[in-house]
């Protein structure tokens, strides 16, 4: 049976599934229940200075649903903990004493000045917590006060605060990054430069999920008004995976430990983040949707998959996908595929045909010899796989690589790898070829 135990920055936990800093980790009662269900660790909801912040006393969440009302995305306007600092610290210490085998990370957010950071770090150390996470990602409420993403969007501030924390604490320092930025590599580089031990990402995405068309205000609505909030849940997973991959393959941050966050709902989601290099994964929306017991499905599913693949530990597959993430310009242009429809599985719904006919390449029939039938026209198929994505029957349509000759281009398919950097249609490639062909003129020795 696979061993799911993790060691992240010297912090041990029985599995890589941690609850992210959020309402589920706001108090001892919640965290106790989470550990009883099997969560490997928690990041305690963000602590700040006293007096505590004040949250709204009305709706705090907005949602995006799928057709079956499955929650796809959750928007929240809640701030950091609104409980007294001493109360949180006492509960953190008690939970850590009672659950010494679980990871206890404390999320922090105080003004961007050295003294407040030094003060709160000393208090957290006394609890016996395993590490701290610097919340540089919250996009609402706190950012207007010069904290959260207001810090996370300025690499120089990230480096400065990370350095303060390393100077004033012996605890491992994790920097939580905001996705509300052009290029996530720059704040990650700053975190490393400041001495941070790891980064966690992504925090929530600044968003308005909907407008109430009766009162013409954003949801959630407070007394007829609404505000932008932080978006999370399954819908943000692709954004999170991309940002994790960018950090994992950046030469300046390669090897920097990462705790992955963003839409993790199943064991498969977790495995994908780990395959990109994450040492742990953090979960919020799935727990808020299905309860703490969801971790049992996550751990059992991941363990079963690892057994099936022959992976004894997380480290056996961690990071294996990162080398396969590349820039578009290096993709093999001589790799040619065509769609194939399994007629035995086809239910003749026609979605593949209409998607291809209306929006793509007119490469799928809807009638053959006067009979309703869906077949791929290889001479028109560009291998885009839109038909695979819209087909409601799993594995009914698959993509098959072809070699030798492409009936669409009516040209032979070269066997060798070739990409855009050397393609004849690339102006820069032509320019390089011209420069390479120009004779080298050596200066006259007499000049």
Provide the annotated active-site residues.
138
Can you spell out the DSSP letters for 175-211? EEPPS-SS-THHHHHHHHHTT-SEEEE--PEEE---E
Q: Do 133 and 165 touch, CB atoms closer than 8 A?
A: no
| Angle, CA 272 vertex, CA 268 and CA 273 arms, to 5° | 120
Q: Do 179 and 145 touch, CB atoms closer than 8 A?
A: no
Q: Do 425 and 436 touch, CB atoms closer than 8 A?
A: no
Could you tell me how far CA 348 lies from the centroid of its own chain? 36
- With 0-12 / 13-18 / 19 or more C-beta atoms within 10 angstroms meaning exposed / middle / buried, residue 305 is middle
**For the chain, what's the residue count?**
447
The rounded distance, in Å, linking the Cα atoms of 24 and 20 is: 8
Q: Do 127 and 106 touch, CB atoms closer than 8 A?
A: yes
The rounded distance, in Å, linking the Cα atoms of 148 and 218 is: 22
The rounded distance, in Å, linking the Cα atoms of 16 and 201 is: 15
Residue among 419, 363, 413 nearest 388 (CA): 363
Neighbouring CB atoms inside 10 A of 156's CB total 11
Q: How distant, in Å, are the alpha carbons of 147, 152, 189, 277, 396 from that of 182?
A: 19, 12, 14, 22, 39
The rounded distance, in Å, linking the Cα atoms of 4 and 150 is: 36
Neighbouring CB atoms inside 10 A of 103's CB total 28
Tokens of 110: 């105080």
Q: Quick one: how many helices (H) and strands (E) in the chain?
A: 13, 22
What is the b/e burial string over 51-69, where b = at least 16 CB atoms within 10 angstroms of the residue's CB? ebbeeeeeebebbbeeeee
Q: Do 275 and 319 touch, CB atoms closer than 8 A?
A: yes
Q: Do 43 and 299 touch, CB atoms closer than 8 A?
A: no
The rounded distance, in Å, linking the Cα atoms of 386 and 358 is: 12
């Amino acid at each position: 049976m696979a061993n799911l135990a993790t060691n992240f920055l010297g912090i041990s936990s029985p599995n890589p599934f941690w609850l992210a800093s959020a309402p589920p980790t706001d108090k001892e009662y919640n965290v106790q229940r989470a550990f009883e269900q099997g969560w490997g660790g928690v990041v305690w909801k963000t602590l700040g200075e006293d007096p505590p912040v004040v949250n709204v006393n009305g709706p705090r969440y907005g949602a995006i649903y799928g057709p079956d009302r499955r929650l796809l995305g959750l928007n929240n306007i809640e701030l950091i903990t609104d409980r007294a600092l001493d109360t949180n610290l006492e509960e953190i210490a008690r939970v850590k004493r009672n659950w010494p085998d679980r990871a206890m990370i404390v999320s922090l957010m105080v003004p961007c000045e050295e003294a407040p950071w030094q003060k709160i770090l000393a208090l957290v150390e006394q609890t016996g917590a395993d590490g701290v996470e610097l919340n540089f990602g919250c996009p609402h409420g706190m950012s207007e006060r010069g904290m959260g993403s207001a810090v996370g969007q300025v690499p120089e501030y990230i480096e400065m605060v990370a350095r303060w924390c390393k100077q004033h604490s012996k605890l491992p320092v994790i920097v939580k990054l905001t996705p509300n930025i052009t290029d996530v590599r720059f704040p990650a580089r700053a975190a490393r430069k400041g001495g941070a031990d790891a980064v966690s990402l992504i925090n929530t995405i600044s968003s308005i999920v909907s407008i109430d068309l009766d009162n013409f205000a954003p949801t959630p609505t407070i007394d007829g008004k609404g505000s932008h909030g932080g978006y999370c849940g399954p819908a943000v997973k692709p954004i999170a995976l991309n940002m994790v991959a960018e950090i994992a393959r950046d030469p300046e941050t390669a090897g920097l430990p990462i705790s992955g966050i963003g839409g993790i709902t199943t064991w498969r989601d977790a495995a994908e983040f780990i395959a990109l290099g994450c040492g742990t994964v953090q979960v919020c929306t799935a727990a808020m949707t299905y309860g703490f017991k969801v971790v049992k499905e996550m751990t059992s599913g991941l363990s079963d998959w690892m057994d099936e693949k022959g992976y004894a530990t997380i480290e056996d597959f961690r990071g294996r996908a990162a080398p396969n993430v590349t820039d578009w310009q290096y993709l093999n242009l001589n790799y040619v595929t065509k769609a194939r429809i399994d007629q035995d599985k086809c239910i003749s719904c026609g979605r593949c045909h209409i998607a291809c006919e209306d929006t793509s390449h007119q490469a799928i029939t809807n009638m053959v010899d006067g009979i309703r039938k869906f077949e791929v026209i290889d001479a028109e198929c560009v291998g885009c796989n839109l038909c695979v994505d819209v087909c409601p029957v799993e594995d009914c349509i698959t993509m098959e690589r072809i070699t030798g000759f492409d009936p669409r281009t009516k040209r032979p398919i070269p066997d060798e790898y070739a990409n855009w950097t050397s393609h004849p249609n690339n102006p820069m490639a032509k320019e390089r070829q011209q420069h390479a062909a120009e004779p080298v003129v050596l200066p006259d020795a007499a000049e």
